[in-house]
Amino acid sequence: MNLLVMGLQWGDEGKGKAIDYLAGNFDVVVRYQGGHNAGHTVYYGDHKVVLHLLPSGIFSPHTASVIGNGVVVNPLQLVEELLHLQSLGVDTGNFWVSHRAPLILPFHQKLDIVFEQSRYHKIGTTRRGIGPAYEDLAGRRALFVGDLLDPRRFRRKAVILNEYYNRLVQAYGAEGTQIEEYMDAYMEAGGFLGSHITDTTWMLNRRFREGQAILFEGAQGALLDIHHGTYPFVTSSNPTVGGVFTGTGLPVQSLGRITGIAKAYATRVGEGPFPSELEGPQAEWLRDRGGEFGATTGRPRRVGWLDLVALRYAVMINGVDSLFLTKLDILDGLTSIPFVEAYRVNGRETRDFDPSIEFLEEAEPIVREIPGWQGSVSEIRLFEELPMEAQHYIEMISEAVDIPVEFVSVGSGRDQTIKRELKS
């Protein structure tokens, strides 16, 4: 059955690890939104690989890896990633990118920085040009991956946009971009990608009709969704379930189940509300222990305890069927584990999340604690062999969000995963 694997928090939940673990059971893995703002960590033998654009299924030799039309593509980054994997001996022949995926151009990256400087709310973007590229899509002036194959068309479109944005960035004292600075590199990338560029909508639909198993790989997380996240501190795409359809051209019937990924605690990179955030020595302890430094930008991630109010919301708006709980091992050795059970807003207790910043500024987390466990869980592969306290923590989460925890990750390795059989 087809499966969507998506982040339920603010990104970096461990999607790369989870998708790499699951990919072998699928014929196709497809990214449907975001761009190279994503950083999905996968271990390939002893090599730690951070994938920004390529689907995390790329290491499974029998699985096709697809970048759907909803992903914004920097072709130079894509070529770099393909070359890196080839140098590690990974077969990248079964990789496909949509000819209708919008392109990220050099001025998008400049605009990302200029817009950030001139904002009332600084977002702390990854500065990869993601937002400005999606703006051009919504503005109906985007260039697409397919344009890389037609130099005259590419130039005609790019020149107009270049001029348009040069006036803007120059007004902010930044230097403009000239098409000659990047035309050759983009055409070369187009040549390199050539036979991998295709109509992925038809390709995916044919495979779907043939009964092939498809795994949808989310980037970012539900709370970074442009419509359902903590706006304006969000990314510019839809990591939530609707993004699957707009970002692939597959019909709703193609979606079988949804597994949501959540860390056993919480992190966030960049600005924006984070009710369960920790500060001081406790935060430093958790950040160091969890290795919470951005896979894309290297920024220290903000850390906090698991927020069940926010998690319940992410489960609700996506119709998540089961959870993949990651980084349980990071909580080893704690006497007790705090978690956010509810919020107090204007003197009233609530469990109903509202992503608006006005609500979250007023929300005081109500923190409860549950006994922790001693010893390490990283070598455990059966749920029943986990310490009772760890089992209780997992069951408590499951009850709070009203869906089963199907997988528990106890380390970054592919095999460090506990799978539970679900009763149907």
Segment contacting Mg ion (CB under 5 A): 289-297, 302-310, 330-338, 402-410?
Answer: 289-297
Q: What are phi and psi of 303, to 5 degrees?
A: -130, 155
Catalytic residue flag (residue 12): yes
Q: Does 20 bind ligand IMO (CB under 6 A)?
A: no
What is the closest distance, in whole angstroms, from the C-beta atom of residue 72 to ligand IMO in the complex?
10
Candidates 40, 128, 207, 268; binder of ligand GDP (CB under 6 A) is 40
Candidates 43, 77, 124, 345; binder of ligand IMO (CB under 6 A) is 124
- Looking up tokens 């590199």 gives 185
Nearer to ligand GDP among residue 13 and residue 112 (C-beta)? 13
Instruction: Name the residue type at position 74.
Output: N
Q: Does 39 bind Mg ion (CB under 5 A)?
A: yes
Separation of alpha carbons 216 and 55, rounded Å: 9
Candidates 2, 4, 7, 223; binder of ligand GDP (CB under 6 A) is 7
Separation of alpha carbons 401 and 316, rounded Å: 9
Catalytic residue (one of 36, 40, 52, 228): 40
Q: Does 112 bind ligand GDP (CB under 6 A)?
A: no
DSSP β-bridge partners for residue 49: 42
Catalytic residue flag (residue 415): no
How many chain residues bind ligand GDP (CB under 6 A)? 21
Length of the chain: 424
Q: Is 287 exposed, middle or buried (0-12, 13-18, 19+ CB in 10 A)?
A: middle
C-alpha to C-alpha distances, 286 to 202, 363, 377, nearest whole angstrom: 46, 23, 17
What is the closest distance, in whole angstroms, from the C-beta atom of residue 40 to ligand GDP in the complex?
4
Separation of alpha carbons 335 and 191, rounded Å: 57
DSSP β-bridge partners for residue 47: 44
Segment contacting ligand IMO (CB under 6 A): 6-14, 78-86, 91-99, 404-412?
Answer: 6-14
- The site partner of 131 among Mg ion, ligand IMO, ligand GDP, none (C-beta below 5 to 8 Å per kind) is ligand IMO
Segment contacting ligand GDP (CB under 6 A): 11-19, 121-129, 133-141, 208-216?
Answer: 11-19
Candidates 4, 97, 130, 226; binder of ligand IMO (CB under 6 A) is 130
Helix (H) or strand (E) holding 244: helix 242-246
Nearer to ligand GDP among residue 63 and residue 177 (C-beta)? 63
Q: Does 130 bind ligand GDP (CB under 6 A)?
A: no
Separation of alpha carbons 193 and 213, rounded Å: 25
Q: What are phi and psi of 338, to 5 degrees?
A: -75, 150
Segment contacting ligand IMO (CB under 6 A): 5-13, 60-68, 274-282, 333-341?
Answer: 5-13
Q: Does 12 bind Mg ion (CB under 5 A)?
A: yes
Of residues 266 through 305, those in contact with ligand IMO by CB under 6 A are: 269-270, 295
Residues 6+ apart with CB under 8 A from 210: none
What is the closest distance, in whole angstroms, from the C-beta atom of residue 294 to ligand GDP in the complex?
7
Residues 6+ apart with CB under 8 A from 157: 141, 143, 147
- Looking up tokens 């050759």 gives 184
- Computed over its alpha carbons, how large is the radius of gyration of the chain? 21
Structure tokens at 291: 């290795």
Segment contacting ligand GDP (CB under 6 A): 161-169, 351-359, 366-374, 407-415?
Answer: 407-415
C-alpha to C-alpha distances, 7 to 197, 210, 220, nearest whole angstrom: 27, 28, 6
Candidates 330, 331, 334, 394; binder of ligand GDP (CB under 6 A) is 330
Structure tokens at 397: 């989460």
Whether residue 248 contacts residue 216, with contact meaning beta carbons closer than 8 Å, is answered with yes
What is the closest distance, in whole angstroms, from the C-beta atom of residue 130 to ligand IMO in the complex?
4
Nearer to ligand GDP among residue 41 and residue 69 (C-beta)? 41
- The site partner of 17 among ligand IMO, Mg ion, ligand GDP, none (C-beta below 5 to 8 Å per kind) is ligand GDP
Separation of alpha carbons 165 and 106, rounded Å: 11
Structure tokens at 387: 């310490």
Segment contacting ligand IMO (CB under 6 A): 4-12, 54-62, 103-111, 143-151?
Answer: 4-12
Whether residue 26 contacts residue 3, with contact meaning beta carbons closer than 8 Å, is answered with yes
- The site partner of 312 among ligand GDP, Mg ion, ligand IMO, none (C-beta below 5 to 8 Å per kind) is none
Interacting residues with ligand GDP (CB under 6 A):
7, 11-17, 39-41, 291, 295, 326-327, 329-330, 409-412
Residues marked active site are found at: 12, 40
Interacting residues with Mg ion (CB under 5 A):
12, 39, 295
